[in-house]
Amino acid sequence: MNNYLDSVLKDVKIKNLNEPEFIQAVNEVLSSVEPILDVHKEYEDLSILERMVEPERIIMFRVPWVNDNGKIVVNRGYRVQFSSLIGPYKGGLRFHPSVNLSIIKFLGFEQIFKNALTGLPIGGAKGGSDFDPKGKSDAEVMRFCQSFMTELYRHIGQDVDVPAGDIGVGGREIGYLFGQYKRIRNAYEGGVLTGKDICYGGSLARKEATGYGLLFYMREMLSAHGQDLKGKTVIISGSGNVAIYAAEKAYQMGATVIAMSDSNGVIIDKKGIDLDLIKQIKEVERGRIKEYMKKHSDVTYIENTPNYSPIWEIKADIALPCATQNDITLEDAKKLVLNGVFAVGEGANMPCTYDAIEYFHHNGVLVAPAKAANAGGVATSAIEMSQNSIRYYYTFEEVERKLENIMINIFNDCKNAADTYNLGSNYVAGANIAAFKKLAEAMKMQGVV
């Protein structure tokens, strides 16, 4: 790293001492952008990096609500409005007991770059709470969402900040959040949240978008290396929104998904995972993946143990981490390489540690980087916003074609950046550089703000 990068990173480490995920995300970007800083010396004079790593605004708030037993519970709410450089703050809300400021800041930071790659006018943000929707009744989830929105509403708006879903926030939560926002504002401002149901202003294909987009990106990346998905075996961590629709598109492209997981364990079904059953268990019953065995007795189920995910020990051609951050460590990467994996697609945000990515690259494994490969979700959120603005809707096929074109463009941007800076097939660096350049140029034009 050159002196400028080194000093910015040191400063970030000092200022954000107890935020390991945030430091990790900043480190990954700063480790990639040296080649472009060498060409654009003015970026240092303009303090581009210092401005990029500091959120515009952080909001933290108390979320009190009453559970079904009449007890008052207090959670913590967050919204990190990281950058409005190229559009309204935009990014999901995560409800999970592990949520803390470091996690929301890493997600908000990555969102700026991801959103820039979509080519659409959206800034970067993330929010959420340490509330755990698991095991809660619908009424409890509703009361929590109403309390959360009673504070959040004053900070968001369809031209200001547009939240959406992430882990633990799906159609049900977005519905409750939207209802409360509308009630407080006494106005239908459809574009204030995305991921809405179709019946009150959502977009067709938003639910499918992240997973489908990941596979479109994967197809483009493989095709640039003379490969395709036909006949390949795929393992997918997670069985939530991203994982399910990644699996669906993988099947449509001729691959076979042989394993999926949740936070308790992994199901291995060599015949091919029965996706209708996964949807029934996860989307309808909100159950555990283990229940898959009730219908299919000839499959293997392995429990997770702390810091150990058995899914990465399964032999497959392609691995798609679609659960959470730091899911694939260096140890997991070594097992995957030993088992002959040839491509990894990051459906989740920062699912591979930096040393795991380096290990993949050194061993010729192609990596589709999160900021680019999972950008189909937020891109389709932007398409939802534009439909809300024109008070019209596109068909499923129209949205899917737009999504496909966006993913093709994103891959080409990553590849062009990798080619321009002689990075070979390091699309992780390619994505960081392509996004960084757009943001740095916008920052240059807008003055010191």
Q: Show the CA angle centred on residue 441, arms to residues 435 and 447, nearest 5°.
A: 130
Nearer to ligand 2IT, 90 or 232 (CB): 90
Q: Which option in ligand NDP, ligand 2IT, none does residue 324 bind, with CB closer than 5 to 8 A by kind?
A: ligand NDP
Residue with tokens 């239908």: 188
Asked if 90 interacts with ligand 2IT (CB under 6 A), we say yes
Total number of residues that touch ligand NDP (CB under 6 A): 23
Q: What does the alpha-carbon distance between residue 213 and residue 249 come to, in Å, rounded to a whole number?
A: 9
DSSP states of 254-316: T-EEEEEE-SSEEEE-TT---HHHHHIIIIIS---GGGGGGT-TTSEEEE-BTTB-GGGGS--
The stretch among 172-180, 214-222, 375-383, 385-393 that binds ligand 2IT (CB under 6 A) is 375-383
The stretch among 51-59, 95-103, 353-361, 377-385 that binds ligand 2IT (CB under 6 A) is 377-385
Binding mask 347-366 for ligand 2IT (x = CB under 6 A): --x-----------------
**Which residue in 114, 126, 182, 402 is the catalytic one?**
126
Report which secondary-structure segment, H or E, holds 405.
helix 396-420
Figure out which of the listed residues 85, 99, 378, 383 binds ligand 2IT, where binding follows CB under 6 A.
378
Closest-CB residue for ligand 2IT? 92
Alpha helix (H) ranges present in 79-126?
Answer: 101-118
Shortest Cβ 309–ligand 2IT spacing (Å):
21
Strand order through the sheet with 366-368: 300-303, 265-268, 256-261, 233-237, 318-321, 343-345, 366-368
* C-beta contacts of 177-181 below 8 A and 24+ residues apart: 177/93, 177/145, 177/148, 177/149, 177/152, 179/146, 180/145, 180/146, 180/149, 180/150, 180/153, 181/149, 181/153, 181/156
Q: How far is CA 26 from each of CA 42, 108, 110, 211, 407, rounded to the nearest angstrom?
A: 21, 11, 8, 25, 24
Q: Which option in ligand 2IT, ligand NDP, none does residue 347 bind, with CB closer than 5 to 8 A by kind?
A: ligand NDP
Ramachandran region, residue 196 (left: φ > 0; alpha: ψ -120 to 50; beta: rest): beta
Figure out which of the listed residues 242, 258, 259, 435 binds ligand NDP, where binding follows CB under 6 A.
242
Q: Does residue 126 carry a catalytic annotation? A: yes
Subset of 182-221 contacting ligand NDP (CB under 6 A): 210
Shortest Cβ 166–ligand NDP spacing (Å):
5
Asked if 91 interacts with ligand 2IT (CB under 6 A), we say yes
Binding mask 150-179 for ligand NDP (x = CB under 6 A): ---------------xxxx-x---------
Asked if 377 interacts with ligand NDP (CB under 6 A), we say yes
Asked if 273 interacts with ligand NDP (CB under 6 A), we say no
Q: Which residues bind ligand 2IT (CB under 6 A)?
A: 90-92, 114, 164, 166, 194, 349, 377-378, 381
Give the residue numbers annotated as catalytic, written as ranges.
126
